Amino acid sequence: MTTDADNTTISIVIPVYNEADILRDCLPALDQALAAEDIRHEYIFVDDGSTDNSWDILLDISRNRPDLTLISLSRRFGKDIAVFAGIGRAAGKAVVVIDADLQDPPAIIPGLLQKWRQGHDIVIGIRRRRRGENWIRRLAAKIFYKLIQTISDCDLPPDSGDLCLLDRRAVDVILQFTERTRYFKGLINWIGFRRGFVEYTREKRKGGKSKWSYMQLTAFAIDAITSYSRLPLRIWTLAGISAAAIGFCYGVYVFVYTIVFGGRVPGYASMVMLILFLGGIQLISIGVISEYIGHLFLEVKNRPLFVIREIKAPDEKNKAE
Ligand code: UDP
Ligand code: MG
């Protein structure tokens, strides 16, 4: 609704996938959080191909709201890509990204803005506590953050939440990225800039349910790690070198033994063990290499990152595709 020239405008980007149960509570909560802020804002809701009536609800709540832009993607592209679609349309001097389900409370937004005004280019919400998540999910999250911190060049703070603020500077950099696997949290921590952190308690979902199954979360973690680290590839080079060295030593031993004591037939058990062990290692290493080839495959196709079905913007003429 405003232009870049207006330096006090911020954009709020909200990805939405099947959030009909809670969507009507979302906007009032955001309005309330921003009420005390003397700052102009625009909301950009990105419907990530919802199969419920989320889009109709969005159309309904956007009536008489000149500060709402609605983007409908042609199918489900995943949250991170939906966020990119929204950021691409954002005109604000800063962009806040927040989930539609109010798990990351909008009341934190003033805290993010304060850090931004203090000169931080990227402000990241850190989950102090995760309410309503079972211990398996918490443990998996812990392992994931530890792993990515240790083996990648992406300084991802543990427990960094989905809530964040990006200054226009950071937004412009992020929009230049062309890679297909968009792990948003990874990217915003990879690009550098001055980062600030705001702690908060993650609430339970007030309605609907989490969109991620354990399978999806695992696939997501593999994608994230292989996008930011080459260590999984290197491990197999090291494993290969070690196996070859051990094999060589064993070969020398067998050779010397045969010379000194003559040939011997027994050894079935050790043969089977070696075949199984090395076969297993080879299969795992092929799997890991395939992950990277999969990334290459996606990059080479160079398809558009997302497809927009419809946009409802206050000045639709300018914004229509
Ligand atoms: N979401 C999305 N596309 C998806 C999955 C989720 O746009 O494929 C949105 C969802 O509507 C919500 C946010 O991303 O606003 C976070 O999703 P969810 O609450 O399921 O994730 P969790 O909080 O369990 O990590
Ligand atoms: Mg959630």
Which atom of ligand 1 lies at the shortest distance from residue 82's CA? 7
pLDDT at 71: 95
pTM of the prediction?
0.75
How open is the CA angle 104-68-168, to the nearest 5 degrees? 70
State which residues of the chain have pLDDT below 50: 1-6, 317-321
pLDDT at 49: 92
Q: How are strands ordered across the β-sheet holding 195-202?
A: 195-202, 122-130, 160-167, 94-97, 9-16, 40-47, 68-73, 308-312
pLDDT at 321: 43
Residue 37: other Cβ atoms inside 10 A: 14
Quote the ligand 2 centre to 241 CA distance (angstroms): 44
Q: Any residues with Cβ below 6 Å from ligand 1, and which?
A: 15-17, 19, 48, 76, 78-79, 82, 99-101, 103, 210-212
End-to-end Cα, the chain, rounded Å: 17
pLDDT at 132: 62
User: Residue 47 burial (CB < 10 Å; 0-12/13-18/19+)?
Assistant: buried
Which atom of ligand 1 lies at the shortest distance from residue 16's CA? 11
Rounded CA gap, 10 and 42, in Å? 6
pLDDT at 42: 92
State the average pLDDT for the chain: 83
pLDDT at 172: 93
